[in-house]
């Protein structure tokens, strides 16, 4: 079994879900007292959020690259970043380490390509929806990407930062997300990428008329497979 190095804490609510899912899957698969071999570096999200607000992605990349190196030095055999937004600095992280880095958009694209969907809606933070880094990564796999209209993007982003990262789950916000999804489906979306790890705390398959691609769960499965923790079919 390989050891997975996890860059987390952004937010810790979603990192908790990543950690929980990883260990539950290993226990279900291997039985007994088995659990995942994980090194978790939980950053202070306030520091990251401040860098996001200042649009200082260079500093964010330096910070995350440094923490990734620490995980490698501590014995991690591969590195994952359990936040979609901060994959904006994925190249900086990859360049700083000598072990594999598992990109969350690639694992999501692979899941989409296992279905008939080729046009997907992307929900996430404003950074993820509006900047090209995530959309272009999906498009490189041959997937067409739709994002919500400006007003809907603002609402989706506000729910993430004002509620979900604080562990607040509101039925009204779930209803709003459902409406956003319906508008995207009307525009031709054949699936919905939950491109923010917190969104999975609010939205599930039941909230969408088309398939949902939960990036956290997909990332966990890919990391465990890469670590040899789910081998043995």
196 a catalytic residue: yes
Burial class from Cβ neighbours inside 10 Å (0-12, 13-18, 19+) for residue 31 reads exposed
177: tokens are: 């997300």
CA-closest candidate to residue 10, choices 92, 128, 121, 122: 128
DSSP assignment letter at 152: H
Dihedral sign, CA of 6, 174, 147, 122?
A: positive
Q: At 147, give phi and psi (nearest 5°).
A: -120, 155
Residues 85, 128, 196, 197: which is the catalytic one?
196
Residues 82, 83, 108, 125: which is the catalytic one?
83
Cβ-based neighbour number of residue 37 at 10 Å: 18
Cβ-based neighbour number of residue 61 at 10 Å: 20
83 a catalytic residue: yes
Catalytic residues: 83, 196
């Amino acid at each position: 079994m390989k050891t997975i190095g996890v860059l987390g804490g952004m937010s810790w609510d979603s990192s908790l879900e990543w950690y929980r899912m990883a260990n539950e899957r290993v226990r279900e698969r291997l039985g007994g007292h088995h659990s995942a071999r994980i090194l978790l570096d939980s950053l202070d999200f306030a520091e990251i959020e401040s860098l996001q607000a200042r649009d200082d992605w260079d500093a964010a990349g330096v910070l995350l690259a440094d923490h990734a190196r620490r995980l490698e030095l501590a014995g991690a055999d591969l590195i994952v970043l359990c936040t979609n937004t901060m994959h904006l600095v994925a190249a900086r992280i990859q360049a700083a380490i000598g072990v594999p880095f598992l990109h969350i958009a690639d694992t999501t694209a692979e899941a989409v390509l296992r279905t008939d969907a080729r046009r997907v809606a992307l929900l996430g933070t404003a950074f993820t929806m509006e900047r090209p880094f995530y959309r272009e990564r999906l498009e490189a796999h041959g997937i067409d990407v739709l994002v919500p209209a400006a007003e809907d993007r603002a609402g989706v982003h506000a729910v993430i930062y004002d509620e979900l990262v604080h562990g607040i789950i509101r039925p009204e916000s779930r209803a709003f997300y459902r409406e956003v999804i319906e508008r995207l489906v009307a525009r031709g979306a054949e699936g919905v990428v939950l491109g923010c790890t917190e969104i999975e705390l609010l939205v599930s398959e039941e909230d969408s008329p088309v398939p949902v691609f939960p990036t956290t769960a997909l990332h966990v499965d890919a990391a465990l497979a890469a670590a040899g923790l789910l081998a043995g079919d």
